[in-house]
Amino acid sequence: VSRALDLAERAVRTAEGDEADASVHVERSGFARFADSAVHQPTLVRDETVTLRVVRGGRVGCATTNRTDDDGLADAARRAGEAADSSPVDPGFPGLQEPAPVPEVEGYDEATAALTPEEQAEAAAATIAAAPGLGLYGYYTSGTAELAVASTTGHAVSQTTTDVSVLALAAADDASGYAEATSWRAADLDVAAVAEEAAEEALTGCSDEYRPPEGRELVEPREQLDVVLDGLAEADAGVQADVLLRDPRIDGEREALLQERLDLGDDVLIARVLLHRPRLAQHVHEAQVGACVGHDARKVRVAAEGGDIVDHHRAQLERPPGHGGLRGVDGDREALQPLQDGLDAAELLLSGDAFRARAGRLAADVHEGRALLDEAECKRHRRLRP
Amino acid sequence: VHELAEHAIDAAVAAGAGYADARVVRRRAQHVATKNGEVDTVSDAETEGLGVRVLVDGAWGFAGDPRLSEEGARDAALRAVAFARASASRARRRVELAPVEPASGEYAAAVERDPVEVPLEEKIALCLAAEEGMRRPEVKITEASVRAQREERVFRSSEGGVARQQLVECGGGIDALAVSDDGRVQNRSYPSAHGGSSGQAGWEYVEGLGLDREAPRVGEEAAALLTAPACPAGVTTIVADAEQMVLQVHESVGHPTELDRVYGTEAAYAGTSFLRPGDLGSLRYGSAHMNVTADPTTPLGLGTFGWDDEGVPARRQPVVAGGILAGFLASRETSAQLGRDLGGSMRADNWSRMPLVRMTNLHLEPGEGTLEDLLADVDDGLFLSTNKSWSIDDKRLNFQFGTQVAWEIKKGKLGRMLRDPTYMGVTPEFWGGLDAVAGPEEWRLYGLTNCGKGQPGQHAHVSHGTAPARFRNVQVGVRQ
């Protein structure tokens, strides 16, 4: 039994109610952020968070804590109970997860989990060194995320994954280039190639036309939610995908359509995060469970506003397409023209083949049974690794 | 916890840190939301931990640990030193810190009724009552939410700084989404879009918002927008209400004056700035009516504190004075880079994050007169209210913002309601068109909780005090 699962089961035993479940997230990560070709904000994080959900007479309450001693868990159980007592009966509550098999996920690499701060800084330095003569901005990060769920129904699962990402933005005098890569195995990540790709873009300029990678296809924005959900259903995202997919509280076709339209952009991002950023995905999962929300996309978005997700997406939307962030003012003006033609960012996501052709936004790739979504970077040739 | 922070600093210095500070943070946060008459969210989260920031050979390192124990403190300190040492050998510039008198003392927000202790039943009832008031046949989705947060922050530094702060904040908001038979959607919000408004205060702040009082108007306006004509395009005079001016100040003054963006360290995520260090004291940012101040001493402000997260005492600071760039938002590091004493704006959103240059409370200082006075001097223009959307480039120079609603201004009086208004501009040109700001009687303080920056991501809680303002020659709607 993993430490996270042990912690989840301890938390469940602390709860007082008809039913209870606990979700535990453990994160250990290092984040070497660099700017102007020097590491400047290196951040090491370790945390473990318990979200306890208690059901009393059809009322549901949640509480979250990172105090994992007995007092901390008891306090969380008390607060979850109070929240349940304060809430009205939820007739749509589907009940807790019954015991079910969890897909085996190949997503953990011992060597990646064991990376030291020195090795993370070394990887950042290697990224920087591969783009000599240009200012390089971005980060190298690696970490381990463990998720465990236990409940009074007997459900007890845990999953440990590693992830590693490198992002490079190279700045030349009047242009910039961008590249990014993600994997769950550090050895698979060629940080120098990422930096070289960003540098090449900065030095040679970009194509305005987006071409999906071989074997992948563009789909229309309105179809993308289905693509995301279908992809998640087939993805090896395990518990996270299961949580996102269950949607017992959508209350009517019209509202579902509205929410689809309103939140499509966030859905795309969340789906991408779920598939490619397991550490961030756990924040989403934690937020939605912690907020006692259902599992529809809009609620996920609301919950995610407490985390990293939405603003990251917003920042991408606000950034002129194809520009890494350091382009000249005239270039910005040109790229902003679609926005200045009277559409806001959300509308842009849902309309305009012309804009999409121009910016390559919202390219959804379906490949080998997985939905791989590359929502913003026509010229940022994101490397998607299964 | 003071001893734990001291233990971390001792461990860091013993391991080779030339400078170290430690923050112990304990936070409890609640959020209640209702939607269409049902409880949507009841969350109650607490977190605690210690963050240690060190300088080793002029390079930063940071580590956070949730264990409030000597072992956790020492472990975080040693990991931070290891990361800093690994970075130092590859640094291109040695970090220097501007001198500061070591922090010493305590700060606590003025609170009448602890918002966290307000029963959840009361919070739910308030939301449901506010929602009820928004109901109309055309309004398909009503939402209301309230939040409460209590936080203790203890700071110590190797320079002798010692401070303890107790921050309490709460807030709320309502939204009505109206849908026409053919599927068009319009929304109205109060007191602010994107999560309402919060203040550093007790529950009396939420009660003072009057969510249920404003709900009928919000619902009526959302419904009315469905049949309102579209906002026409053209170059005209606009008067933006105080809530929209919050967004205008935040995006086009706050972010570009963050000195870390000016120096490029946010280029990979939040962006850079059209400003340069040498612009200080000389760049014309706007008209003579433009006065913007950073003030972390503002009562009720979400950016109000005794000391920032590197121990710099709160101090009111001009940012734009008479239209001229007069200051930047800065850290000790960037102040030293510029060679100027710029006050303290370093804030971290939790114990597990490194402090960044953030807005505190950034205000557009009031001018004179009432909103009616501003309108009276407009022969033909638009009154814009409540932010709906924003798009702005990474330098914070070219922008297009949308509001939820507009009203025509004809011969100094408000006329028809208009839907889907947008306006655009280039920051200094736009602010150059400012020809009036309403007076203190129209000045309002809004608190936002969703300002994103940094990698790993952080969210800052900031406040802006603004009054309605009038701008001439503004491009509205689709360019002709």
Q: Do B388 and A344 touch (CB under 8 A)?
A: yes
Of A75, A310, A344, which is closest to B391 when you measure between CB atoms? A344
Q: Do A120 and B83 touch (CB under 8 A)?
A: yes
Statement: residue A258 has pLDDT above 70: no
Q: Which pLDDT value is given to residue A172?
A: 73
* Cβ-Cβ contacts under 8 Å, A124 against chain B: 87, 90
Condensed to tens digits (0 to 9), the pLDDT of residues A229-249 reads: 444 333 322 222 222 322 332
Reported confidence tier of residue A174, pLDDT bands at 50, 70, 90 = low
Q: Which pLDDT value is given to residue B478?
A: 61
Statement: residue A356 has pLDDT above 50: no
- In chain A, the residue whose alpha carbon lies closest to the alpha carbon of B479 is A341
Q: Do B456 and A31 touch (CB under 8 A)?
A: yes
The answer to whether residue B272 neighbours chain A at the CB level (below 8 Å) is: yes
Statement: residue A340 has pLDDT above 80: no
- The residues, ordered by sequence, that sit 6+ positions from B267 with a Cβ below 8 Å of its Cβ are A35, A135, A137, A169, A171, A325, A326, B261, B394
Q: How far is A100 from chain B (nearest CA, A)?
A: 27
Condensed to tens digits (0 to 9), the pLDDT of residues B23-56 reads: 999 999 999 999 899 888 888 999 999 999 999 9
Of A124, A169, A302, which is closest to B267 when you measure between CB atoms? A169
Condensed to tens digits (0 to 9), the pLDDT of residues A68-126 reads: 999 999 999 999 999 999 888 877 777 887 887 766 667 899 999 999 999 999 999 99
Beta bridge partners of B59: B56
Predicted TM-score of the model (pTM): 0.81
Q: Do A76 and B46 touch (CB under 8 A)?
A: yes
Q: Do B353 and A37 touch (CB under 8 A)?
A: no
* Cβ-Cβ contacts under 8 Å, A318 against chain B: 390-394
Mean pLDDT score of chain A:
63
* Cβ-Cβ contacts under 8 Å, B185 against chain A: 258, 261-262
Q: How far is B215 from chain A (nearest CA, A)?
A: 21
Q: How far is A98 from chain B (nearest CA, A)?
A: 23
- E strands, chain A, in order: 19-35, 38-56, 59-65, 135-151, 156-171, 176-183, 363-367, 370-374
Q: Are B448 and B302 in contact (CB under 8 A)?
A: yes
DSSP state of A322: T
Return the structure tokens found at B167: 């921050």
* Cβ-Cβ contacts under 8 Å, A44 against chain B: 61-64, 76, 79-80, 83
The answer to whether residue B325 neighbours chain A at the CB level (below 8 Å) is: no
- In chain A, the residue whose alpha carbon lies closest to the alpha carbon of B54 is A42
* Cβ-Cβ contacts under 8 Å, B478 against chain A: 341-342
Q: Do A65 and B45 touch (CB under 8 A)?
A: yes
DSSP state of A186: G
* Cβ-Cβ contacts under 8 Å, A290 against chain B: 43, 45
Residues 274-313 of chain B with CB under 8 A from chain A are 274
Q: Do B454 and A41 touch (CB under 8 A)?
A: yes
By mean pLDDT, which of A160-174, A196-210, B145-159, B268-282 is the weakest? A196-210
The interface predicted TM-score of the complex, written ipTM, equals 0.92
Q: What percent of chain A has pLDDT over 70?
A: 51
Residue B261's alpha-carbon distances to A318, A374, B331, B458, in angstroms, are: 16, 27, 12, 15
Q: Are B480 and B379 in contact (CB under 8 A)?
A: no
Mean pLDDT score of chain B:
95
Q: Which pLDDT value is given to residue A245?
A: 28
What's the CA gap between A278 and B419, in Å, rounded? Answer: 41
Q: Do A169 and B398 touch (CB under 8 A)?
A: no
3-state secondary structure of A55: strand
The CA R_g of chain B, rounded to the nearest whole Å, is 23
Q: Which pLDDT value is given to residue A284?
A: 39
Q: Which pLDDT value is given to residue B43?
A: 87
Residues 387-426 of chain B with CB under 8 A from chain A are 388-395, 397-398, 400, 402, 422, 424
Q: Do A45 and B63 touch (CB under 8 A)?
A: yes
Q: Which pLDDT value is given to residue A354?
A: 26
Statement: residue A211 has pLDDT above 50: no
Q: Which pLDDT value is given to residue A219?
A: 39
Angle at B72 between CA B70 and CA B75, to 5 degrees: 105
Q: Are B331 and B260 in contact (CB under 8 A)?
A: yes
Statement: residue B134 has pLDDT above 50: yes
Of B41, B46, B49, which is closest to A292 when you measure between CB atoms? B41
Q: What percent of chain B has pLDDT over 70?
A: 99
* Cβ-Cβ contacts under 8 Å, A302 against chain B: 33, 41
Q: Do A342 and B354 touch (CB under 8 A)?
A: no
Of A38, A122, A308, which is closest to B91 when you measure between CB atoms? A38
Condensed to tens digits (0 to 9), the pLDDT of residues B71-82 reads: 999 999 999 999
Mutate to test the interface with A, among B28, B31, B46, B231 (most CBs of A within 10 A): B46
Return the structure tokens found at B111: 């609170």
Q: Which pLDDT value is given to residue A382?
A: 25
Which DSSP helix (H) or strand (E) runs through A58?
Answer: none
By mean pLDDT, which of A194-208, B109-123, B329-343, B353-367 is the weakest? A194-208
Q: Which pLDDT value is given to residue A167?
A: 92
**Mean of the pLDDT values across residues A311-326?**
31
Beta bridge partners of A181: A166, A383
Q: How far is B152 from chain A (nearest CA, A)?
A: 15
**B4 vs A304, which has greater pLDDT?**
B4
- In chain B, the residue whose alpha carbon lies closest to the alpha carbon of A88 is B39
Q: Which pLDDT value is given to residue A239?
A: 26
The CA R_g of chain A, rounded to the nearest whole Å, is 22
**Mean of the pLDDT values across residues A322-334?**
27
* Cβ-Cβ contacts under 8 Å, A299 against chain B: 40-41
Q: Which pLDDT value is given to residue A311?
A: 30
Q: How far is B10 from chain A (nearest CA, A)?
A: 19
Condensed to tens digits (0 to 9), the pLDDT of residues B137-187 reads: 999 999 999 999 999 999 999 999 999 999 999 999 999 999 888 878 899
* Cβ-Cβ contacts under 8 Å, A171 against chain B: 267
Residue type, A155: H
Condensed to tens digits (0 to 9), the pLDDT of residues B241-292 reads: 999 999 999 999 999 999 999 999 998 888 889 999 999 999 999 999 999 9
3-state secondary structure of A112: helix
What's the CA gap between B387 and B405, in Å, rounded? Answer: 9
Write the secondary structure of chain B as one string of H (helix), E (strand) and C (coil). Answer: CHHHHHHHHHHHHHCCCCEEEEEEEEEEEEEEEEECCEEEEEEEEEEEEEEEEEEECCEEEEEEECCCCHHHHHHHHHHHHHHHHHHHCCCCCCCCCCCCCCCEEEEECCCCCCHHHCCHHHHHHHHHHHHHHHCCCCEEEEEEEEEEEEEEEEEEECCCCEEEEEEEEEEEEEEEEEECCCCCEEEEEECCCCCCEEECCCCHHHHHHCHHHHHHHHHHHHHHHCCCCECCCEEEEEEECHHHHHHHHHHHHHCCCEHHHHCCCCCCCCCCCCCCHHHCCCCECCCCCCCEEECCCCCCCCCCCCECCCCCECCCEEEEECCEECCCECCHHHHHHHCCCCCCCEECCCCCCCCEECCCEEEECCCCCCHHHHHHCCCEEEEEEEEEEEEECCCCCEEEEEEEEEEEEECCEEEEEEECCEEEEEHHHHHHCEEEECCHHHCEEEEEEEEEECCCCEEEEEEEEECCEEEEEEEECCCC
Statement: residue A306 has pLDDT above 60: no
Q: How far is B193 from chain A (nearest CA, A)?
A: 14
**Mean of the pLDDT values across residues B402-409?**
96
Residues 347-376 of chain B with CB under 8 A from chain A are 352-354, 356
Statement: residue B313 has pLDDT above 70: yes
* Cβ-Cβ contacts under 8 Å, B267 against chain A: 35, 135, 137, 169, 171, 325-326
**Mean of the pLDDT values across residues B283-306?**
97
Statement: residue A367 has pLDDT above 50: no
Condensed to tens digits (0 to 9), the pLDDT of residues B346-394 reads: 999 999 999 999 999 999 999 999 999 999 999 999 999 999 888 788 8
- In chain B, the residue whose alpha carbon lies closest to the alpha carbon of A47 is B66
Q: Do B264 and A137 touch (CB under 8 A)?
A: yes
Reported confidence tier of residue A161, pLDDT bands at 50, 70, 90 = confident
Q: Which pLDDT value is given to residue B472?
A: 98
The answer to whether residue B42 neighbours chain A at the CB level (below 8 Å) is: yes
* Cβ-Cβ contacts under 8 Å, A49 against chain B: 47
What's the CA gap between B311 and B306, in Å, rounded? Answer: 9
Of B62, B120, B394, which is closest to A82 when you measure between CB atoms? B120
Task: Please state the separation of Cα A177 from the chain's center in Å.
Answer: 23
Q: Which pLDDT value is given to residue A76?
A: 97
Q: Which pLDDT value is given to residue A230?
A: 43
Condensed to tens digits (0 to 9), the pLDDT of residues A374-386 reads: 322 222 222 222 2
Q: Which pLDDT value is given to residue A220?
A: 36
Q: What percent of chain A has pLDDT over 90?
A: 32
